[in-house]
C-alpha cells in the first residue's frame, strides 16, 4: 500500500491549506492508499542550527524536538505532499524549518522510498509572481532530497489564490482538484 505523508504547515484553525490537505488525504484513502497528515504547525520544531553535527553522527540531528517524528515518517513515505499558506510571497516559517531540518538526512539515501511529491498552497490575493518563490522553493527542495537530481516526480502543484479568510475555501473547486491529486499520487 502506498503511504503518503502530508505536511500541513498552517497554524491557524480552520485553515485553507489544511482543507486542501484533508481533501487530498480523502482522495488517497479512496484510491486505496494510506495518508498520514502531520500538522507541523502544531509541533515543536526549531530551526536548523547549521552545526553539522548530523554530518558526523549518522544523520542524527543535535536538536531534540518533534522533527525526529517527521524524519521517521519521511523515511517511511512513498510520496510527500507539502502544504503552506503564502506568507510574504514565500512559504510559512514552519515549513521552512522542516525543509532546513531535513538537512540532517543528507545525502538523503534514507528518503529513497519517496517517489512522488506535490505542493498545496493558498494565498489571499491574486498578483503576478506571488507564488514564484513558493514554487521555486518546493522544486528546489524536492530536487535536493531526491539526491540532487529529478528522481522524485512532482505530480501536481495546486496554487489557490483569492482565499484570505478560512471560510473562503468552502466549495472552492480547488478542493476537488486536491481530492483528484490524492487519487493520482497513489496510482
Ligand atoms: C503573515 C501573513 C503573510 C501573508 N502574506 C501573503 C502574501 O504575501 N500574499 C498573499 O496573497 N497572501 C498572504 N497572506 C494571506 C494568506 O496566504 C491566506 O490567507 C492563506 O489562504 C492562508 O492559508 P491558511 O488558512 O492555510 O493559513 C498572508 C497572511 C499572513 C498571516
Convert 82-118 to b/e letters by CB count within 10 Å (16 or more is b). bbbbbbeebbbebbbbbbbbbbbbbebebbeebbbbb
Distance CA 173, CA 150 (A): 30
Q: Relative to the CA of 130, which ligand 1 atom is closest? A: 9
* CA of 84 relative to ligand 1 center, distance in Å: 9
Span 98-111, average pLDDT: 98
Q: Is 85 in the pocket of ligand 1 (CB under 6 A)?
A: yes
Q: Relative to the CA of 86, which ligand 1 atom is closest? A: 17
Span 119-141, average pLDDT: 96
Residue 41 has pLDDT above 90, yes or no: yes
Residue 48 has pLDDT above 90, yes or no: yes
Convert 26-65 to b/e letters by CB count within 10 Å (16 or more is b). bbbeebebbbebbbbbebebeebeeeeebeeeebebebee
- Express each pLDDT in 142-177 by its tens digit: 999 999 999 999 999 999 999 999 989 999 999 999
Span 37-64, average pLDDT: 97
* CA of 157 relative to ligand 1 center, distance in Å: 17
Q: Whose CA is nearest to atom 1 of ligand 1?
A: 87
Domain ranges for the chain? 3-185
Query: What count of other Cβ atoms lies within 10 Å of the Cβ of residue 150?
Result: 11
Second-level CATH architecture of 3-185: 3-Layer(aba) Sandwich (3.40)
Q: Is 64 in the pocket of ligand 1 (CB under 6 A)?
A: no
Q: Is 122 in the pocket of ligand 1 (CB under 6 A)?
A: yes
Q: What is the pTM of this model?
A: 0.98
Q: Is 94 in the pocket of ligand 1 (CB under 6 A)?
A: no
Nearest to 88 by CA among 124, 45, 119: 124
* CA of 122 relative to ligand 1 center, distance in Å: 7
Q: What is the pLDDT of residue 1?
A: 83
Amino acid at each position: 500500500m502506498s503511504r503518503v505523508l502530508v505536511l500541513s504547515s498552517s497554524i491557524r484553525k480552520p485553515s485553507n491549506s489544511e482543507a486542501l490537505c484533508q481533501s487530498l488525504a480523502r482522495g488517497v484513502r479512496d484510491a486505496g492508499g494510506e495518508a498520514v497528515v502531520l500538522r507541523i504547525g502544531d509541533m515543536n520544531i526549531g530551526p536548523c542550527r547549521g552545526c553539522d553535527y548530523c554530518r558526523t553522527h549518522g544523520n542524527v540531528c543535535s536538536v531534540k524536538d518533534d522533527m525526529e517524528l517527521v524524519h521517521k515518517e519521511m523515511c517511511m513515505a512513498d510520496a510527500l505532499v507539502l502544504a503552506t499558506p503564502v506568507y510574504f510571497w514565500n512559504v510559512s516559517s514552519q515549513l521552512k524549518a522542516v525543509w532546513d531540518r531535513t538537512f540532517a538526512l543528507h545525502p538523503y539515501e534514507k528518503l529513497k522510498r519517496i517517489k512522488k511529491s506535490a505542493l498545496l498552497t493558498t494565498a489571499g490575493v491574486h498578483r503576478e509572481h506571488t507564488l514564484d518563490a513558493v514554487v521555486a522553493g518546493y522544486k528546489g527542495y524536492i530536487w535536493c532530497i531526491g539526491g540532487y537530481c529529478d528522481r522524485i516526480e512532482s505530480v501536481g502543484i495546486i496554487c489557490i489564490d483569492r482565499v484570505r479568510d478560512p471560510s473562503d475555501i468552502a466549495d472552492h473547486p480547488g478542493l476537488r482538484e486536491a481530492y483528484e491529486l490524492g487519487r493520482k499520487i497513489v496510482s
